[in-house]
Chain A
Amino acid sequence: MPLRNLRNDYLIDRRIQKTETFSGITGVSEQDAAIQDSQGPVQDRTREHLGPTDIGVVEFRKLMVGAARALAAGEGPRAAKAPDRYAVRSGGWVATPDKDLAAVMTERFGHPHGYVGKQYGFGE
């Protein structure tokens, strides 16, 4: 049970919020928890207004909802049968502006999806 939680308003310190941290809550994890809990027990997405920085959220929902729909129609999720493909990394990099995501990933991880399975004896 996180020590900073919904029952104690994540021990938000309004003085620290003025001076040291954006949220006034100690710990990145608890800052996340506070905001996510604060969206409600189940976020009401009928009232949200997404923008360009929310494209990851949009694609995540498409992927999950699409997979659940496909499964309901009898088509199992491919990811469940691709255990090797979980051998990936994520991280940061600095690149010239003409490079696309695949090129940046390849520079950073040696593979456009960050696949590192070969290092552990998995295939290409």
Chain B
Amino acid sequence: MLSQADNEFLTRSGPGTPMGALLRRFWMPALLSEELPERDGPPKKIKILGEELLAFRASDGRVGIVERHCPHRGANLFYGRNEECGLRCAFHGWKFDVEGNCIDLPTSPPESSYKDTIKLLAYPSREWGDMIWVYMGPKEKMPALPQFEFGLVPSAQRFVAKKWQDCNWVQSLEGGIDTAHFSFLHAVPSKDEATKRAVYSRSAALGDQTKADDRIRWVTDDPRPRFAIAGHEAGLVIGGARKTDGADLYWRIAQFLMPNHAYAPAAFPGEIYYGQCWVPVDDVSCWIYTYSWVPDRPLTNAERTKFAGGFGVHSQVDTEYMPLRNPRNDYQLDRALQKTLSFTGIAGVSDQDAAIQDSQGPIQDRTREHLGPTDLGIVEFRKLVMGAARALAGGTEPKAATAAKRYAVRAGGWVAAPAKDLATVMTERFGHPHGYIGGEYGLGD
């Protein structure tokens, strides 16, 4: 439970807010690369952290992310011409490059230096991992790109997508690191094991197994995972241990990576890894960038088709990245299905998550919540990000922003003897207590 003031502090990210300042110290996905497919193509309107911006791909392939309104008389550059390495205003022809420099001001005499005094607000961008990233903080604090493994592997080994969400980014992220809800929200209430497995296999990574085991049953049968949390330079390891048939524990271990990424906890060795990144559009909606990757082989076309059709964190979306199942149609909740094969009656793990997270309200009222032992990850996440935002307001920069290589981690599942603590389990599963695998990519120890 948070006070109203703390809830505001946690959830508001517009210009001038403490949490907004923290988010602006990190690189954020702004677009998928596929959204700006061609050089000199149409600029795209985007909104991030409450700021209305334009993105355009210039003649040389570089991407500009700039404010929308021309400094001359405020016309929207969306209607402008993207040509010859710059965006030209349709009103009087003022032209700007990807860095916001005014490179032509045809309404002033050619000898005038007025042009050199004109600047369009532009944020630095990078293209990496089939995404376009933006940095919206102070230029002198701009860090290196965080080394997420999906960006380190070749393009053939990753799948990236995005989906719209109609609620504040924090409660949606909290859903992502809350691995306890899998026993309910995504459950298949059928008594028949084969049916259960078939339904999971269509929708959830938990059912997409390379070897037969009993993970589905363990998740269903133990709704009270015991949580253990370990902080590291880039975020938190969030482990939840459930009972198995014997004495061993089944661990599902997620990662929270500062300030807005979370990795899913399902993957056993050899399986596909999944992550998500929540980018606030404003305080009541966000884009969720979803990504999957494999360290050691290309994804198959069948896997890509499955992801694009809605699987695990990936939602089935239209050409504007709007989920087909959304609050306008009650997520196509099917009450007959809810009686038989689906705990929610909603198709798709991603859409089950979205339905519940949206249902918490545009911004969840955390003054009325009642947390319990399975919410430990959420408590630690809030402590971490609110502490970092307070520290930043007090002049202390977030350490994670400059720990780019510490983002090269994995999350996943493991079965271990009950005496083993989280660090031991992580070391067994990943070779490192925090799941660091940067060594495989030449990033050092």
Instruction: State the Cβ distance, B77 to closest chain A Cβ, in Å.
Output: 8
Chain A residues contacting B79 (CB-CB under 8 Å) are 10, 12, 23-25, 34-35, 38
Are B90 and A22 within 8 A (Cβ)?
yes
Are A48 and B81 within 8 A (Cβ)?
no
Chain B residues contacting A75 (CB-CB under 8 Å) are none
Q: Which of A14, A44, A48, A49 contacts B42 (CB 8 A)?
A: A14
Q: Specify the chain A residue showing the minimal Cβ separation from B105.
A: A51
Q: Which of B74, B91, B105 contacts A47 (CB 8 A)?
A: B74
Q: Is A43 an interface residue (CB 8 A)?
A: yes
A21 to B59, CA, bound (A): 19
Are A35 and B118 within 8 A (Cβ)?
no
Q: Which of A10, A39, A50, A52 contacts B69 (CB 8 A)?
A: A39
Known A-B contacts A48-B71, A52-B107; A39 and B76 likewise in contact (beta carbons under 8 Å): yes
Q: Is A40 an interface residue (CB 8 A)?
A: yes
Known A-B contacts A14-B41, A34-B79, A49-B118; A54 and B109 likewise in contact (beta carbons under 8 Å): no
Are B108 and A47 within 8 A (Cβ)?
no
A44 to B92, CA, bound (A): 18
Q: Specify the chain B residue showing the minimal Cβ separation from A23.
A: B90
Known A-B contacts A35-B90, A43-B74; A22 and B81 likewise in contact (beta carbons under 8 Å): yes
Q: Is A17 an interface residue (CB 8 A)?
A: yes
A12 to B118, CA, bound (A): 27
Are A47 and B78 within 8 A (Cβ)?
no
Are B105 and A39 within 8 A (Cβ)?
no
Chain B residues contacting A54 (CB-CB under 8 Å) are 73, 107
Q: B50-104: which have CB < 8 Å to A?
A: 69, 71-76, 78-79, 81, 83, 90-92
A23 to B92, CA, bound (A): 11
Are A17 and B74 within 8 A (Cβ)?
no
Q: Is A53 an interface residue (CB 8 A)?
A: yes
Q: Specify the chain B residue showing the minimal Cβ separation from A54.
A: B73
Chain B residues contacting A47 (CB-CB under 8 Å) are 69, 71, 74
Known A-B contacts A51-B114, A54-B73; A38 and B42 likewise in contact (beta carbons under 8 Å): no
A60 to B53, CA, bound (A): 31
Known A-B contacts A34-B79, A53-B107; A48 and B74 likewise in contact (beta carbons under 8 Å): yes
A18 to B84, CA, bound (A): 12
Chain B residues contacting A24 (CB-CB under 8 Å) are 79
Known A-B contacts A12-B79, A22-B81, A22-B90; A49 and B72 likewise in contact (beta carbons under 8 Å): yes
A17 to B83, CA, bound (A): 11
Q: Specify the chain B residue showing the minimal Cβ separation from A38.
A: B76
Chain A residues contacting B81 (CB-CB under 8 Å) are 17, 22
Q: Specify the chain B residue showing the minimal Cβ separation from A46.
A: B74
Q: Specify the chain A residue showing the minimal Cβ separation from B89.
A: A35
Are B78 and A38 within 8 A (Cβ)?
yes
Instruction: State the Cβ distance, B298 to closest chain A Cβ, in Å.
Output: 34
Q: A3-38: which have CB < 8 Å to B?
A: 9-10, 12, 14, 17-18, 22-25, 31, 34-35, 38
Are A52 and B75 within 8 A (Cβ)?
no
Are A40 and B107 within 8 A (Cβ)?
no
Chain A residues contacting B92 (CB-CB under 8 Å) are 53
Q: Specify the chain A residue showing the minimal Cβ separation from B40.
A: A18
A17 to B75, CA, bound (A): 17
Known A-B contacts A39-B69, A39-B76, A44-B74; A52 and B90 likewise in contact (beta carbons under 8 Å): no
Chain A residues contacting B107 (CB-CB under 8 Å) are 51-54
Chain A residues contacting B108 (CB-CB under 8 Å) are 51-53
Chain B residues contacting A14 (CB-CB under 8 Å) are 41-42
A22 to B40, CA, bound (A): 14
A40-79 toward B: CB 8 Å interface, digit per residue (1/0)? 1001110111111110010000000000000000000000
A42 to B37, CA, bound (A): 33
A14 to B83, CA, bound (A): 12
Chain B residues contacting A48 (CB-CB under 8 Å) are 71-74
Instruction: State the Cβ distance, A124 to closest chain B Cβ, in Å.
Output: 38
A40 to B117, CA, bound (A): 23
Instruction: State the Cβ distance, B412 to closest chain A Cβ, in Å.
Output: 44
- The chain A residues found within 8 Å of chain B, CB to CB, are 9-10, 12, 14, 17-18, 22-25, 31, 34-35, 38-40, 43-45, 47-54, 57
Per CB-CB distance, the 9 closest pairs between chain A and chain B, nearest first, are: A38-B76, A53-B107, A39-B74, A14-B42, A23-B90, A35-B91, A43-B74, A35-B75, A49-B71
7 contacts between A and B (CB under 8 A): A22-B90, A34-B90, A35-B75, A35-B91, A38-B69, A48-B71, A53-B92
If A45-B74, A53-B92 are given as contacts, then 5 extra A-B residue pairs at C-beta distance below 8 Å, sorted by A number, are: A18-B40, A35-B75, A48-B71, A50-B73, A54-B107
